[in-house]
């Protein structure tokens, strides 16, 4: 097998990422079009007069073929024109602006806490494999994996906000707030998200480290009499870096889904709630816009994870 | 079967106990309850008392009876969605491994596309178009989960197809149907059974999350997630009404996960012995 150049591999992965993005955009578009009638009938309901349906159809340009509308939609989207909401008639980009910022603020704060915490605990569990600390961490993982996100949210809400009164029950951000006030306001949704993703990340980190530590070259280093610290720093860490980086990005991707439920629990004004509202009001352009944004972020995170793994893991440069 | 249960570790036995008790409670409990899940029998959000063991809900219905019938709904919907996922995913996965070629490539690409973004987001997009009736929910959940079932079945079946005894069966001229049912299916079964448990938990949490978000099962039907939503406001008064249905769901999930872990560990031990 000839050695493939690293740039070549990265470029190849970037190209396939672009294709994935296109496929995803087609799916978002088609997903909202698979109903038996069309969007106009769905919005107006059974009792609508044919004239009303036709007017709406004209307004939305639904008489043109789907492929034409798809290309136009994607073209406008790429230029920042997300169209208008069907329900409120407002520009979707205006609706999304602040909410996207709010969701990012929440998700990133949770990530800053969750990632070091869970990677650290995962390392701890791996080093004490089979001992009490490991068993405790593994057992708590099982419980958290089996617990729906909204249960963690409501338990925190009941204890942290209502019974103890430490944090506000409604997480509202307003423009005049200082950064500390903002952090205080999102403390509980942030903690919920942290708990939701940590168990996942912890489990993955533990497995990744254990698989590196069970390699023959680690045993060899031990037999040579290399100290444990040196084995971990010089031999195990560089090889665990790639899986751990991957796990970090997967955690970020997982946060995207977590945000939707957690925002609903705490009435937090973010992208998740915007999308849920759009879905229950069947506001198709808004659903499409939110769906495409969520999907794009997710695909990009996965793409970054893959590229980082190519860069940090020499073995991937020699595909079998 | 019985020897497997006897060989279970303590964790898996506890898990099995939880699952059996949960199923007995949700299928027999509503019959024994003195109340119906729809009748209003008390004040709004009464605390737990002798008449209403878990208190009452947002319009004064008996919460215990509601949780039992809601749990039954969650179990039935999740089971149907999981069966659906296996009915779609298994045949496609085995066929892809056996037939290979362009068929395998096409199905695999479609699955890649479905898995390119998070299930919940895809579910939201599709539900906004087709609406939220119970059949569409089950169908959508089946299709979403079938992707993982397909990948797993294909991987396991591909390993088996490469084995010698399959070659022998082919040379003997066995027909395709016999070949699939008698040679391949029994060998992929153990992996699929544990996967069934995992998919079931995933389905139960997904349908509850959707109902909690208000786009899953619609009133007058109710499942555990929907009950959390109905009673959400009670939390601000310090009451536990929305927490109890969620705890019930969590119990079911923990039980199934413990059993799955036990079976996986049991299989791993058998492998090592070989």
pLDDT tens, position by position, B69-87:
989 999 999 999 999 999 9
In Å, how far is A193's CA from the nearest CA of chain B?
15
Cα distance between residue A294 and residue A21, in whole Å: 11
Cα distance between residue A223 and residue A208, in whole Å: 22
At residue B270, the pLDDT reads: 64
Do residue A154 and residue B236 have CB atoms under 8 angstroms apart? no
Question: For residue B201, which residues of chain A lie inside 8 Å, CB to CB?
Answer: 146
Question: For residue B118, which residues of chain A lie inside 8 Å, CB to CB?
Answer: 253, 256-257, 294-295, 298
Task: Find all residues with CB under 8 Å of B49, minimum gap 6, and list them.
Answer: B55
Look at residue A36 and tell me whether its pLDDT is greater than 60: no
At residue B55, the pLDDT reads: 80
Look at residue A42 and tell me whether its pLDDT is greater than 70: no
In Å, how far is A312's CA from the nearest CA of chain B?
23
Summarize the confidence of residues A241-252 as an average pLDDT. 82
A256 touches chain B (CB under 8 A): yes
Residue B274 banded pLDDT, cuts 50, 70, 90? very low
At residue B249, the pLDDT reads: 93
Nearest to B212 by CA among A290, A261, A194: A261
Do residue A20 and residue B116 have CB atoms under 8 angstroms apart? yes
Question: For residue A169, which residues of chain B lie inside 8 Å, CB to CB?
Answer: 235-236
Region of poorest pLDDT, from A100-109, A137-146, B141-150: A137-146
Nearest residue, CB atoms, B113 vs list A27, A155, A287: A27
Look at residue B39 and tell me whether its pLDDT is greater than 90: no
CA distances from B25 to B18, B35, B81 (A): 10, 15, 21
Whether A152 and A195 have beta carbons less than 8 Å apart is answered as yes
At residue B169, the pLDDT reads: 76
Higher-pLDDT residue of B256 and B265 is: B256
Task: Find all residues with CB under 8 Å of A12, minimum gap 6, and list them.
Answer: none
Summarize the confidence of residues B245-272 as an average pLDDT. 84
Which residues on adjacent β-strands are paired with residue B61?
A: B40
Do residue A261 and residue B209 have CB atoms under 8 angstroms apart? yes
Nearest residue, CB atoms, A261 vs list B201, B213, B236: B213
Look at residue B51 and tell me whether its pLDDT is greater than 50: yes
């Amino acid at each position: 097998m000839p050695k493939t150049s690293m740039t070549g591999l990265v470029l190849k992965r970037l190209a396939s990422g672009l294709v994935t993005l296109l496929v995803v955009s087609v799916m978002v578009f088609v997903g909202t079009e698979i109903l038996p009638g069309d969007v106009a009938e769905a919005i107006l309901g059974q009792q609508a007069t044919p004239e009303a349906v036709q007017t709406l159809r004209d307004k939305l340009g639904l008489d043109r073929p789907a492929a034409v509308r798809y290309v136009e939609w994607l073209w406008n989207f790429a230029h920042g024109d997300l169209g208008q909401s069907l329900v409120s008639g407002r520009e979707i980009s205006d609706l999304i602006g602040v909410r996207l910022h709010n969701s990012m603020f929440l998700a990133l704060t949770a990530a800053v806490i969750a990632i070091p915490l869970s990677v650290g605990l995962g390392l701890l569990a791996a080093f004490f494999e089979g001992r009490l600390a490991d068993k405790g961490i593994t057992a708590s993982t099982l419980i958290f994996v089996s617990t729906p996100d909204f249960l963690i949210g409501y338990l925190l809400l009941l204890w942290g906000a209502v019974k103890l009164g430490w944090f506000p029950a409604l997480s509202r951000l307003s423009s005049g707030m200082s950064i500390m006030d903002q952090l205080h306001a999102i403390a509980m949704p942030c903690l919920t998200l942290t708990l939701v993703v940590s168990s996942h990340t912890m489990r993955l980190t533990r497995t990744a480290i254990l698989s590196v530590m069970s390699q023959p070259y680690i045993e060899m280093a031990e037999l040579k009499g290399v100290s444990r610290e040196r084995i971990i720093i010089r031999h195990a860490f560089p090889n665990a870096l790639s899986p751990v980086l991957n796990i970090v990005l997967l955690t970020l991707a997982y946060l995207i889904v977590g945000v939707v439920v957690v925002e609903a629990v705490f009435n937090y004004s973010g992208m998740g709630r915007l999308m849920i509202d759009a879905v229950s009001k069947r506001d198709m352009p808004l659903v499409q816009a939110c769906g495409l944004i969520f999907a794009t972020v997710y695909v990009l995170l996965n793409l970054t994870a893959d590229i980082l793994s190519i860069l940090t893991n020499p073995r991937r440069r020699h595909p079998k | 079967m019985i020897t497997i249960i006897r060989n279970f570790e303590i964790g898996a036995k506890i898990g099995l106990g939880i699952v059996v008790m949960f199923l007995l409670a949700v299928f027999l409990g509503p019959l024994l309850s003195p109340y119906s899940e729809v009748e209003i029998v008390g004040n709004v959000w009464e605390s737990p008392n002798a008449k209403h063991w878990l208190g009452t809900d947002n319009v004064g219905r008996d919460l215990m009876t509601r949780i039992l019938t809601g749990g039954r709904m969650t179990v039935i919907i999740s089971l149907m969605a999981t069966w659906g996922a296996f009915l779609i995913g298994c045949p496609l996965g085995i066929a892809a491994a056996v037939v290979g070629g362009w068929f395998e490539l096409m199905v695999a690409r479609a699955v890649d596309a479905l898995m390119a973004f998070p299930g919940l987001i895809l579910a939201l997009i599709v539900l906004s178009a087709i609406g939220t009736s119970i059949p569409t929910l089950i169908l959508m959940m089946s299709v979403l989960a079938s992707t993982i079932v397909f990948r797993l079945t294909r991987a396991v079946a591909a390993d088996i197809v490469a084995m010698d005894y399959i070659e022998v069966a082919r040379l003997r001229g066995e027909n395709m149907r016999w070949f699939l049912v008698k040679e391949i299916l029994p060998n992929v079964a153990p992996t699929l059974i544990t996967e069934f448990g995992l998919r079931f938990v995933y389905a139960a949490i997904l349908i509850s999350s959707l109902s909690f978000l208000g786009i899953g099962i619609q009133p007058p039907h109710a499942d555990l997630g929907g009950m959390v939503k109905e009673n959400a406001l009670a939390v601000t008064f310090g009451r536990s009404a929305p927490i109890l249905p969620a705890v019930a769901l969590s119990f079911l999930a923990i039980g199934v996960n413990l059993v799955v872990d036990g079976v996986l560990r049991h299989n791993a031990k058998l492998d090592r012995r070989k």
